[in-house]
Structure 1
Amino acid sequence: MMILQEQYMLPCLNKKLFGFECMGCGMQRSLSFLYHGEFIAAFKMYPAIYTLIPLALIIVISFFYKFKHVNKLINGLAIASVLIIIISFIVKKII
């Protein structure tokens, strides 16, 4: 089942043009792993997935329901996501 889904994933334009992965490489495969219940594989593929999903959900929910401290929550998750993306990108380049 996983192989069939990978046929429909968008290729990384950065990798095709320049030959190296971008900071977003692995996100689609990570979502696919999550969909199939492979949580550790999803984390190994793209660690920021566990902060990006709650961030996206909170942003969407905040359009419909206003609640206290939503901006602090969004800012905190956004900062955490960016830090995780940068650190995991550097680690991938080193290893």
Structure 2
Amino acid sequence: MRLATLLLVLEDYMLPCFTKKFFGFDCPGCGLQRATLSLVKGDFTAAFEMYPAIYPLVLLILFIITTAFVKIKFELIVKILLAITTGIVILASYIFKMNNLIH
């Protein structure tokens, strides 16, 4: 299967946001699937615009995968810092998005 075909198929099977569907507003994870797809397609700017936490999240995931195979001296500290950074970016971008919807 070609990459383009696979990407088109993935777009058809994205999960809807249940928070948005039932309550009418975005959740802190809204945009993650679309941002991941944009990242895979190579549209890095669109990925960031859809979900600013995509890059720290990718770094965290890659670091976790790497440390499963390679021992790193300050592994736990780096994981904690990456997780905190990711959480802060998720929270800050969500607050910013919600604040802009209100005004």
TM-score by length of 1: 0.90
| 2:45 corresponds to 1:6 | no
| 2:20 corresponds to 1:15 | yes
Task: Tell me what 2:95 maps to.
Answer: 90
RMSD: 1.5
Deviation at 1:57, TM superposition (A): 1.3
Deviation at 1:4, TM superposition (A): 5.1
- Which ranges in structure 1 are unaligned for 5 or more consecutive residues? none
Counterparts in 2 of 1:50-65, with a 5 A limit? 50-65=55-70
Deviates more, 1:21-30 or 1:8-17: 8-17
Deviations 1:59-82, CA, capped at 9 Å, x for gaps: 122222221111111111111100
**Fraction of identical pairs, as percent:** 45
Moved over 4 A (4+): 1-4
| 2:30 corresponds to 1:25 | yes
Q: Which has the larger radius of gyration?
A: 2
Secondary structure, counterpart of 1:67 in structure 2: coil
Counterparts in 2 of 1:42-81, with a 5 A limit? 42-81=47-86
Residues 93, 3 of structure 1: alpha-carbon distance in 2 compared, 3 angstrom cutoff: farther
TM-score by length of 2: 0.84
| 2:42 corresponds to 1:37 | yes
